[in-house]
Structure 1
């Protein structure tokens, strides 16, 4: 074999070797890319599945509460009503003053229990989240909280009607309730400001802020602020969640659902 043939053989060998190495690198990169895409797909499916589970849990909770409310009204409520009628009959028939006084006390307890039961039943069966606009639901919560006069709560919005389903309205209302309750209980605030707006970029944006004592965000789990509950609810519908607080600087919450 001449030098020319030897050189050619070496060049071809090196060329094939380089091509082989390049092919292996391309294969590895494609494998990593496919693996990454597969893992991303699995992660997306898991997130969707988790949201579906949480949404189903909310719906099951709502239906269960309504069933309990109807059972309280139709079963226990009817029995208490019957007992109340019996006590009224005993009051009418009894002629002993001391016994009459005790029967009246029992009757008052039964009637109060019946009122409490009817109120609880109405609360459980009242599907107001489906029936009312989100603006009305939040305003109702604000008005009820302002009755305690612990701090002043204001609510502003830039729309009158926003077509939202049960899950979205439930998330917005429960997060608002959670923030208000924790601010009143823990922050010693004088004011709470709530805004719910819509824009070209977002379906809605909920912002809540108080002027309370605040807390160290890194210790949120031990401050009873309900951060985990609010964050989990936001994740149900894929909303961006942000809560900021500093000692003596108040607490602010922002939840945005982009279009």
Structure 2
């Protein structure tokens, strides 16, 4: 009788252990599913946000060009007519009219440039290498920093989302290096190997405290989030010899 009781007791304990193990396995599986769903949701959200942003910018650009631009053009024409009809009026009035007309014409020029920028499809139509090269040329025009671009990318990156994120990160690195790093040389390298795209950003500036920036740097946190959205990862190294950002994106 005692033997039967012990067998039943052992079987009961074994059943509990098996149940607990299965529960933990199911729990881990469920957590992984939730993490996957969360990542997919964030990716879709980012993609949607970027699409909405692009459409909004294009809409604003068209409105500036078609609506506000036309009204300012009409106002300029009215002023020109006013000048023509009032040539005999006092010189002060004529000067004021000319001043207003000049302001309107300057505003029109600025609005046309803004409209062109907002409706620009450069990111869509250009390769990531071409986009980075454009940014490098902008810095070279300043003639304050030597910018080296090593382009060894032998594939076409079609994703607007990935190109846009890599471009924004490059722009931010260039701006930070120029403003804060006290550097005179910036080097950008882009290449791919083993189905991974690498973007390496370097400067020869003063460097910074990585741990302090990780704690308080909003820009760095946003950069990290952006890269994670496209399944990428990045590494930062910084010392008195300069700063190196290495970004890896799976293809």
TM bucket, shorter chain: over 0.9
Instruction: Give the Å deviation of 1:150.
Output: 2.9
CA RMSD of aligned residues (A): 1.7
Instruction: Give the Å deviation of 1:199.
Output: 1.2
Match of 1:23 in 2: 15
Instruction: Give the Å deviation of 1:222.
Output: 7.5
2:126 corresponds to 1:141:
no
Match of 1:4 in 2: none
2:226 corresponds to 1:226:
no
Match of 2:187 in 1: 193
Map 1:9-88; keep pairs closer than 5 Å: 9-88=1-80
Map 1:157-176; keep pairs closer than 5 Å: 157-159=151-153, 161-176=155-170
Which consecutive residues of structure 2, in runs of 5 or more, have no partner in the other structure?
Answer: none
Contact 1:135–1:160, Cα closer than 8 Å, also in 2: no
Instruction: Give the Å deviation of 1:69.
Output: 0.6
Contact 1:244–1:251, Cα closer than 8 Å, also in 2: yes
Q: How many residues align?
A: 249
Contact 1:55–1:236, Cα closer than 8 Å, also in 2: no
Deviation string, structure 1 residues 100-136 (Cα, Å, up to 9, x no partner): 2222221111111100000001000111111111111
Cα distance in structure 2, aligned partners of 1:101 and 1:256: 60
Q: TM-score, normalised by structure 2?
A: 0.93
Instruction: Give the Å deviation of 1:207.
Output: 0.8
Q: Which structure's CA Rg is the greater one?
A: 1
Match of 1:211 in 2: 204
Instruction: Give the Å deviation of 1:201.
Output: 3.7
Contact 2:236–2:246, Cα closer than 8 Å, also in 1: yes
Match of 1:106 in 2: 100
Deviation string, structure 1 residues 193-240 (Cα, Å, up to 9, x no partner): 1111111241x1111011111110111168768212211211221111
Q: TM-score, normalised by structure 1?
A: 0.90
Which consecutive residues of structure 1, in runs of 5 or more, have no partner in the other structure?
Answer: 1-8
Cα distance in structure 1, aligned partners of 2:156 and 2:168: 17
Instruction: Give the Å deviation of 1:19.
Output: 2.0
Contact 1:133–1:161, Cα closer than 8 Å, also in 2: no
